[in-house]
Amino acid sequence: MAKKKETTSLIEALSEFKELKNIDKNTMIQVLEDSFRNVLSKMFGSDDTFSVIINLEKKGDFEIWRTRHVVADEEVTDPVHQVALSEAQAIDPDVTLDEDFVDAVDFNAFGRRAVINLRQALASKILELQKDNFYHNFIGRVGELVSAEVYQVWKREALLIDDEGNEMLMPKSEQIPGDFFRKGETVRAVIARVENENSNPKVILSRVSPEFLKRLLELNVPEIADGLITIRAAARMPGERAKIAVESYDDRIDPVGACVGVNGSRIRSIVRELKGENIDVTTFTSNTLLFLQRALSPAKALAITLDEEGKQAEVYMRPDQVPLAIGKNAANLRLAEQLTGYRIEVFRDEEGVEEDIYLDEFDDEIEAWVINQLKEKGYTTAKSVLRVGREELLETSDLEEDTLNHVLRVLETEFAEEAEEEGYEEYEDVEEGEEEEGADADSTTATEGEEA
């Protein structure tokens, strides 16, 4: 009787263990059945005549039944599949020859060694299932923001535990410079990856990943959480500086303003979380030239040459803008490269440093929406507009003819002498129905040897 109590308590303990570790009930039943069959197979050489019935709802109630064919006592050749008539009738007097005899098996009768083997097999299988469930649960959560409590801090990593008791690691390389954790402190991070070396899963957290910045923005900017604003790209130098590109699907919403908040209220809490990391927010555009210009902000480019296949860009700037484009420790340039996916080379444009003028400086004569439309097409300076043919500008800028004529006239007035020297055509407003004289397309292109 003592052995039966011992086995029953074993199943009860396993039932409780199943609930604590969130192992599915059906899976637990299958594990128990497989473990019993494994022990029976070792004892009898085969388990195909045994039926194991387990009911976890009744505090670990289980039964083992064996089915054998009844033969005469002297004809028993396979004790696993056959049973002697006398042995069967000792249990059930009504049994006759050539019947299938089903009897209950007392697992306790197999001895203490069988119970120990069962316990070990179950513990091993449950641990394996627990690791497998742990891995598959977290592999689908990579990139998710989590909050966990610091349990232990070592020199090279920190151990954190979430609300469900799951252990997670944060290596020093995934911590922001300046991070200092104390035991019991709650820390936010993203799940960077899940390693499963030698079937030993580990969840690695990160506070330096660009995904961490994205999740914090989603948490602090309702428009992002609601899907009205999308984060199209993000780049970080942890603890120093970051750049993000956002896009709005609602023309009424300014994506940059929404992310920054009134007087920087929304971005300020993120900056504190990131240990003072300076965050630049810019508007995403599918126009590669314009996106590169915005990514290099606060520097302003004069001209950009693209190699879209090689993902390379040559950017020409005034000498005073080059330091701004590169930034301290080349931070601005590296972040711009990460944000755009282009390898960027910055060149000083010594020619015409004093002569060229940014379009923004003509806002008193040219309407802002016109300037913005030209900038979206990659024309940021007066010369960059004048170097392009009038017909090409009409096709690419979507501006009305009268509007474009006005823009060209304003710019040429500023560069009257240079236009005469370099062969730029002077444009006048054309009266309706009157053809423009001398409109040779070649006259509006850059002179030979000059970059378009």
- Sorted by sequence, the CB contacts under 8 Å of residue 18 that are 6+ apart come out as 25, 28, 56, 126
- In this structure, the answer to whether residues 272 and 249 fall within a common structural domain is yes
Amino acid identity, position 363: D
Cα separation of 27 and 127, whole Å?
13
Tokens of 221: 């900017």
Tokens of 190: 């993203």
Indicate the SS3 state at residue 370.
helix
- Sorted by sequence, the CB contacts under 8 Å of residue 37 that are 6+ apart come out as 47, 50, 52
- In this structure, the answer to whether residues 44 and 121 fall within a common structural domain is yes
Q: Residue 116 has what pLDDT?
A: 77
Does 192 reside within a domain? yes
Q: Give yes or no for a contact between 214 and 231, defined as CB atoms under 8 angstroms apart.
A: yes
CA nearest to 221, candidates 199, 253, 192: 253
Does 300 reside within a domain? yes
User: Which residue is associated with the tokens 């390693």?
Assistant: 195
Does 87 reside within a domain? yes
Q: What are phi and psi of 164, to 5 degrees?
A: -95, 5
- Sorted by sequence, the CB contacts under 8 Å of residue 285 that are 6+ apart come out as 291, 294, 376
Question: If residue 396 lies in a helix (H) or strand (E), which one and from where to where?
Answer: helix 390-397
Sheet containing 312-317, strands listed edge to edge, beginning at the edge strand earlier in sequence: 301-307, 312-317, 343-348
State the total domains in the chain. 5
- In this structure, the answer to whether residues 132 and 41 fall within a common structural domain is yes
Cα separation of 292 and 339, whole Å?
9
- In this structure, the answer to whether residues 126 and 103 fall within a common structural domain is yes
Q: Residue 60 has what pLDDT?
A: 55
Digits of tens for pLDDT over the chain (452 positions)?
344 444 444 455 455 454 545 566 777 777 778 878 877 887 777 788 888 887 766 555 778 888 888 888 888 888 888 888 888 888 888 888 888 888 888 776 677 777 777 777 777 877 888 888 889 889 999 999 999 999 999 999 999 999 888 999 999 999 999 899 999 999 999 999 999 888 889 999 999 999 999 999 999 999 999 999 999 999 999 999 999 999 998 888 999 999 998 888 899 999 999 999 999 999 999 888 889 999 999 998 888 888 888 899 999 888 888 999 999 889 999 999 999 999 999 988 765 444 567 787 787 888 888 888 887 777 777 877 887 777 888 877 778 888 888 888 888 887 665 545 444 444 444 434 344 343 333 333 333 333 33
Question: If residue 45 lies in a helix (H) or strand (E), which one and from where to where?
Answer: none
- In this structure, the answer to whether residues 17 and 120 fall within a common structural domain is yes
Q: Give yes or no for a contact between 199 and 232, defined as CB atoms under 8 angstroms apart.
A: no
Does 325 reside within a domain? yes
- In this structure, the answer to whether residues 108 and 31 fall within a common structural domain is yes
In three state form, how does the secondary structure of 103-121 look?
A: EECCHHHHCHHHHHHHHHH
- In this structure, the answer to whether residues 216 and 202 fall within a common structural domain is no
Number of C-beta neighbours around residue 428 at 10 A: 11
Q: What is the pTM of this model?
A: 0.64
Q: Establish whether the linkage from the previous residue to 298 is cis, with ω within 30° of 0.
A: yes
Exposed/middle/buried for residue 193 (C-beta within 10 Å: 0-12, 13-18, 19+): middle
Cα separation of 112 and 3, whole Å?
8
Specify the CATH number for the domain of residue 90. 3.30.1480
Specify the CATH number for the domain of residue 193. 2.40.50.140
**Domain boundary pick from 136, 152, 174:** 136
Tokens of 378: 């990659």
Does 451 reside within a domain? no
Query: DSSP per residue over 252-306, as a string?
Result: TS-HHHHHH-GGGHHHHHHHHHTTS-EEEEEE--S-HHHHHHHHTTTS-EEEEEE
* Straight-line distance from the first to the last Cα atom of the chain, in angstroms, rounded to the nearest whole number: 97
CA nearest to 82, candidates 90, 92, 74: 74
- In this structure, the answer to whether residues 227 and 349 fall within a common structural domain is no
Does 220 reside within a domain? yes
Provide the residue range defining the domain that includes 298: 285-354
Give the max Cα distance, the chain. 124
- Positive/negative CA dihedral, 28, 33, 39, 42: negative
- In this structure, the answer to whether residues 56 and 82 fall within a common structural domain is yes
**Domain boundary pick from 354, 386, 408:** 354
- In this structure, the answer to whether residues 41 and 28 fall within a common structural domain is yes
- In this structure, the answer to whether residues 156 and 72 fall within a common structural domain is no
Exposed/middle/buried for residue 115 (C-beta within 10 Å: 0-12, 13-18, 19+): middle
- In this structure, the answer to whether residues 87 and 167 fall within a common structural domain is no
Specify the CATH number for the domain of residue 337. 3.30.300.20
Q: Residue 335 has what pLDDT?
A: 95
**Domain boundary pick from 299, 324, 354:** 354
Does 257 reside within a domain? yes
Does 359 reside within a domain? no
Tokens of 323: 């330091």
